[in-house]
Chains A and B, each alone.
Chain A
Amino acid sequence: DQQVKQNSPSLSVQEGRISILNCDYTNSMFDYFLWYKKYPAEGPTFLISISSIKDKNEDGRFTVFLNKSAKHLSLHIVPSQPGDSAVYFCAASPLLAGNNRKLIWGLGTSLAVNP
């Protein structure tokens, strides 16, 4: 049972426009969320994160929004660039006993930014 869902397997956007990647979760114990980007033949790399005490976090062209009541977060990329073409993973983390954390991952959304 997927606790973190990325319902769009793929997304295609024109260069310069906004890319919006969505992520839904089911576990209300999740309190920390991350987005990772993955290029082919490479490991995922960290992009941006947000704690449940905030509803927005911004880093340059990347902004993550968190709607706790809807158990939904989204990643906005503005403006989109061809180099942003990659698979984007949403991950969520519950605070477990003993302060241990592990990430629960979505299946990813493949973003294609067309020149």
Chain B
Amino acid sequence: DAGVIQSPRHEVTEMGQEVTLRCKPISGHNSLFWYRQTMMRGLELLIYFNNNVPIDDSGMPEDRFSAKMPNASFSTLKIQPSEPRDSAVYFCASRLTVISGELFFGEGSRLTVL
């Protein structure tokens, strides 16, 4: 299996622009997670889906952030408009079951907002 695939690996954009990060979870996995990593706050859970349904989006910083999972093999995290404080590494992870088990992470998308 190819693992969790994220794109783009690196994104540099200007403040105010829309950013879309993409994730393909491991085939057959039923849960998908979006995390943000910064030096100050570590790994923060933004949102997670069970069976394509958003379960907990309490970690989404504000209305500028949105996430979708239209099917079991694809999810997007969108930031509109982007701000410099959104600069971070965004990780997508998937898990086989909705109840428990280890998370499998993608390699991350490094976002820089100028």
Task: Find residues 61-115 in chain A having any chain B CB closer than 8 Å to their own CB.
Answer: 89, 93, 99-103, 105-108
Q: Which of B41, B55, B100, B108 contacts A43 (CB 8 A)?
A: B108
- Chain B residues near A34: list those with CB within 8 A: 102
Task: Find residues 52-82 in chain B having any chain A CB closer than 8 Å to their own CB.
Answer: 55-56
Tell me if B56 and A100 are in contact (CB < 8 A).
yes
Tell me if B107 and A101 are in contact (CB < 8 A).
no
Complex: how many Å from CA A107 to CA B45? 13
- Chain B residues near A93: list those with CB within 8 A: 100
Where chain A touches its partner, the secondary structure class is loop
Give the interface size bracket for B toward A: 20 to 34
What's the minimum C-beta distance from B32 to chain A, rounded to whole angstroms?
12
- Chain A residues near B2: list those with CB within 8 A: none
Tell me if A43 and B4 are in contact (CB < 8 A).
yes
Where chain B touches its partner, the secondary structure class is strand
Give the interface size bracket for A toward B: 20 to 34
Do A41 and B107 contact each other (CB < 8 Å), given the known contacts A99-B99, A102-B45, A108-B42?
A: yes
Tell me if B43 and A89 are in contact (CB < 8 A).
yes
8 A-B pairs within 8 Å (CB atoms) are namely A41-B107, A43-B105, A43-B106, A44-B103, A89-B43, A100-B98, A102-B33, A108-B42
- Look across to chain A and name the residue whose beta carbon is closest to the beta carbon of B92: A43
What's the minimum C-beta distance from B8 to chain A, rounded to whole angstroms?
14
**Which of B91, B98, B100 neighbours the largest number of chain A CB atoms within 10 Å of its CB?**
B100
Tell me if B100 and A46 are in contact (CB < 8 A).
no
15 extra interchain contacts, Cβ-Cβ under 8 A, other than A32-B100, A44-B43, A102-B48?
Answer: A34-B102, A42-B107, A43-B4, A43-B105, A44-B91, A44-B105, A45-B105, A89-B43, A100-B50, A100-B55, A100-B98, A100-B99, A105-B42, A106-B42, A107-B41
What's the minimum C-beta distance from A32 to chain B, rounded to whole angstroms?
7
- Chain B residues near A103: list those with CB within 8 A: 45, 103
Tell me if A101 and B45 are in contact (CB < 8 A).
no
Tell me if B42 and A107 are in contact (CB < 8 A).
yes
